[in-house]
């Protein structure tokens, strides 16, 4: 297969970032735009997206365009619309970072709120499946190539007590990246994932503010520090771009070496 992907850089690419209104998604969208890519962000809250769009536009280079679309990743029609909006900018979609996700359940498996478990799996895993499907269909229709990066987690690679529902959904994303990469590779479409550890963003603020759980995290990390959203953005930028053109089906840990030890014990939040 002959690739038309530029040999270096992503300037002029059109990319979609789900969950791009805050945290890791926003930082990655800023990184893409700073490197000259046209960026479309999507999320469920319009005002948050509008504020994020201003931040991204402020660092965009080379005439990169920035737009936002309100979309819930668990609703396939809305994801399809976000993909289509991304492709409208240049006539194609070159990259997709499926970042949207979260945890809606915390606690023992023996006392599990099954509705919360289902919601967590739906948001993280089903939402990622929808993104791969819709992004992959658009990339196939344009004749390739394309690159997708999914958001997993260290919790999906090794156990974190009481965070198991989130971990189960994120483990599924690792396998989704492998399965999709195997199927879509002949189409010139690469699929990889990142697995962050503890990151200083608004979602993790209740941990990074300090306390026993943060201390437990740091004790299990060889590098001994909390990660930044820019740490993850740099990893995603590598995986989305042509610099990683011979890499697919991989999950890249961005966790300060946390995966070399044990997972953080979330029962500490309950005095465990």
Q: Which residues are catalytic?
A: 166
Q: What angle do CA 40, 42, 46 make, to 5 degrees?
A: 115
Report DSSP state, residue 195. E
Q: Locate all alpha helices (DSSP H) within the chain, ordered by sequence.
A: 23-34, 46-59, 76-90, 114-121, 127-141, 164-184, 205-208, 212-219, 229-240
The contacts of residue 242 (CB under 8 Å, 6+ apart) are 5, 6, 7, 8, 9, 10
CA distance 177 to 111: 31
Nearest C-alpha neighbor of 163 from the set 100, 207, 128: 207
CA atoms within 13 A on the CB side of 92: 16
Q: How far apart are CA 227 and CA 33, in angstroms?
A: 22
């Amino acid at each position: 297969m002959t690739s038309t992907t530029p040999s270096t850089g992503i300037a002029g690419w059109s990319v979609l970032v789900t969950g791009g209104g805050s945290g890791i998604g926003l930082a990655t969208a800023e990184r893409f735009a700073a490197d000259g890519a046209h960026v479309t962000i999507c999320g469920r809250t319009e005002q948050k997206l509008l504020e994020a769009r201003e931040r991204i536009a402020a660092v965009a280079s080379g005439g990169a365009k920035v737009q936002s679309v309100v979309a819930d990743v668990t609703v396939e029609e809305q994801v399809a619309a976000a993909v289509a909006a991304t492709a409208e900018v240049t006539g194609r979609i070159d990259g997709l970072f499926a970042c949207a996700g979260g945890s809606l359940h915390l606690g023992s498996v023996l006392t599990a709120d099954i509705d919360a478990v289902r919601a967590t799996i739906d948001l993280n895993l089903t939402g990622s499946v929808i993104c791969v499907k819709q992004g992959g269909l658009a990339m196939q229709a344009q004749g390739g190539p394309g690159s997708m990066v999914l958001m997993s987690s260290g919790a999906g690679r090794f156990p974190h007590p009481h965070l198991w529902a989130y971990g189960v959904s994120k483990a599924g994303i690792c396998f989704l990246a492998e399965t999709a990469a195997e199927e879509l590779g002949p189409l010139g479409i690469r699929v990889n994932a990142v697995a962050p550890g503890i990151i200083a963003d608004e979602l993790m603020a209740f941990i990074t503010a300090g306390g026993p759980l943060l201390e437990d995290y740091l004790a299990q990390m060889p590098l001994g520090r909390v990660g930044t959203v820019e740490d993850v953005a740099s990893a995603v930028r590598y995986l989305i771009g042509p610099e990683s053109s011979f890499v697919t089906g991989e999950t890249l840990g961005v966790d300060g070496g946390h995966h070399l030890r044990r997972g953080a014990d979330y029962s500490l939040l309950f005095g465990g």
